[in-house]
Amino acid sequence: MILKIKHLAISFFVLAFSLSINAQQGQVTIDQDKDIDKLLEYKKDVKTSKIYKIQIDQSVDPDVAQKMKSNFLNAYIEWPVDIVWNTPNYKVWVGNFATRLEADRALLKIKKKYMYANILQPKLDKD
């Protein structure tokens, strides 16, 4: 019985090996418009372009958000500041940092005065 199982197993492996040796070889040719490559490159560039911002605070009152923005600009003049409305809050965002490292360095300075500040990567608007 065991000899019969071994014989069947060996036969199975020999058959599987012979089928893989006799597999057909082929070549696939893709005929596509050349503009598709340009579009793929453009999409790759758009996806990899990242902008980091630092959110220093948020408020439901636009006047309070404006005051936070003014206070920040009095303390730190090197970065642009925006107020973004995101239901139901007005968020105060700082900077347009190209790299995470740049944003981390700025965050170290900003956290001295705004301890709840954090880095975020907002979704880019698609035109």
What single string gives the DSSP state of each residue in 98-111? SSHHHHHHHHHHHT
Could you tell me which residues come within 8 angstroms of residue 64 by beta carbon, excluding any fewer than 6 positions away?
90
Higher pLDDT, 7 or 120: 120
The pLDDT, as a whole number, for residue 4 is 74
How many other β-carbons are positioned within 10 Å of the β-carbon of residue 8? 10
The pLDDT, as a whole number, for residue 127 is 44
pTM: predicted TM-score of the whole model, two decimal places: 0.59
Write down the mean pLDDT value for the chain: 84
**Would you call the peptide bond into 88 cis, given omega within 30 degrees of 0 as the criterion?**
yes
Q: How far apart are CA 116 and CA 56, in angstroms?
A: 7
The pLDDT, as a whole number, for residue 47 is 52
Query: Average of pLDDT values for 16-36?
Result: 73
Residue 82 has pLDDT above 60, yes or no: yes
Higher pLDDT, 87 or 37: 87
CATH 3.30.70.1070 for the 50-120 domain, yes or no:
yes
The pLDDT, as a whole number, for residue 26 is 80
Q: How far apart are CA 121 and CA 103, in angstroms?
A: 10
Query: Average of pLDDT values for 94-108?
Result: 95
Query: Average of pLDDT values for 63-73?
Result: 95
Residue 121 has pLDDT above 60, yes or no: yes
